[in-house]
Amino acid sequence: MFGPAQLFRLLHINRVLVRHGLDDIILATHLFRPIGFLRHVLPWNWLPRQQSDLSRGARIRLALEDLGPIFVKFGQMLSTRRDLLPDDIALELAKLQDQVPPFPGEQAREIIERAYSQPLAVIFEDFGFQPLASASIAQVHAARLHNGREVVVKVLRPDVQKVIRRDVELLYIVANLAQRYWKEGRRLRPVEVVAEYEKTIFDELDLVREAANASQLRHNFQDSPILYVPEVFWAETRRNVLVMERIYGIPVGDIAELRRRDVDLKKLSERGVVVFFTQVFRDSFFHADMHPGNIFVNAEDPADPRYIAVDFGIIGTLSPTDQHYLAENFLAFFHRDYRRVAELHIESGWVPAETRVDEFESAIRTVSEPIFDRPLKEISFGGFLLALFQTARRFNMEVQPQLVLLQKTLLNIEGLGRQLDPDLDLWKTAKPFLEDWMRDRIGPCAVLRRIRHFIPRWADQTPDLPNLVYGLLQKANSGEMVVQLHKQEMEQLRREVRRANRRSFHSMVAAALIVSAALILGFDGYPKDMWQVPLLTWLLGGIGVGLLAGVWPTDP
């Protein structure tokens, strides 16, 4: 299971955990509880601990920062998974900052020249060797092209892929152990969580992919008054070097500067919500790393501020089915239709089909009702999510890995809105957008659009229809046609046949009884009073059986 490199890394991880006093937490888990007494005999527990006044969440955060960028990013993702973590730890992990020391500018020059196979001066008229920013995957330098355009150059860290591969393999080992030995493992699907993280982190290593993401997002918001996406310079972009237009703006987290410029913070906060829902529901293509470090504000017109986005390494997409269910869920929440929310969860397969709708509805109402009609500053969205996930755990709701990025982005937007305008009504801002989207999705115009979309395909296939019909008739005429029915369909057919047979039998019995009763009542050779009671019983019984023949359940 472990190679030499992995074993060495695992020993280093254990040393970091011990240094931050996390061996207590590990030994207190369900898996290691039987040997928890060992904490008293471990030599490092005989000496006073440093940082003993820190909470467990703070110690975990510091340990992840010491373990390096991959664990920092994994911790950031876990901070959105309130179904996996206690609230205090999740809130601490949300503070993780993806900031690491830069590597030397000369090393960046070597990477760039190797990528271009030519000297740096051939590509750039000027290049700033002091990086503008440095993160776990890459760092960014300012430069100027020979045509005078100011650009930023993003350069991957040296050997970053090897480091990531090593740490992701360790995460898989931990996830497999959790899925095997943790009672919640099957429902929370930790292996799938790591797989989703692996896909995301390795996508970030391909800067051509990031450039394509930026280009698509720029196309989606072309001429938009609310979001600007910088231009990509494709001729200078490589797999490990990305060149983009340099933008100038105010960091969205610099509230003091935004206020000094008299920026309309209320409009800015509402536009943040609109940007999010537009990306998710109109385009199904959303910037999934919208923390304050990646968002700037163009304040040239303070009354009409515009967002500027950077860093497009993490992009989320949703299937049309997920889009539809999410939109309906949001709208049902906004209308406080908790029964519909419960039904949608069952229809989508997010909770087991045997879940009782009334119980699930009641649980959702208990969590959701207290948050409505209150300003954002009075709502703990983290607490709300925690309560929802606790409810989901009670009803065996399986984690949906494809929604992890959406949850993360929604939390980022909520935090951004809280910073800009604590009185922002998230629900009031989003509701009209979703109502318009649903109307556009299922209304008459949507039907016409779908017909118009499929007309070229139908026109292309129409000439083949006569040949297809002729071939079908030929097979039917020659007896070559084989009709295949699935087992479920066959069983349904058998039930229908049995039901029809039973109805026929009931009808025949009813008819016989009615006819017999009528004949006997009309028989003049017997005294009427003698037959009156039993014959009336036969007649009513026949009529009753005749009626029941059509309504009585006849399934086996």
Residues recognised as catalytic: 289
Q: Is 506 left (phi over 0), alpha (psi -120 to 50) or beta?
A: alpha
Task: Name the helix (H) or strand (E) containing 315.
Answer: strand 315-316
DSSP assignments along 173-209, one per residue: HHHHHHHHH-TTHHHH-HHHHHHHHHHHHHHTT-HHH
CA distances from 463 to 41, 52, 84, 363, 453 (A): 83, 79, 56, 56, 19
Using only C-alpha atoms, the chain has a radius of gyration, in whole angstroms, of 33
Q: Is 308 helix (H, G, I), strand (E, B) or coil?
A: strand
Distances (CA, A) of 451 to 405, 445, 446: 33, 10, 9
Q: Report long-range pairs for 69-76 (Cβ below 8 Å, ≥24 apart).
A: 69/98, 69/100, 69/135, 69/136, 69/137, 69/163, 70/136, 70/163, 70/164, 70/167, 70/168, 70/201, 71/167, 72/96, 72/97, 72/98, 72/136, 73/98, 73/136, 73/197, 73/201, 74/171, 74/197, 76/408
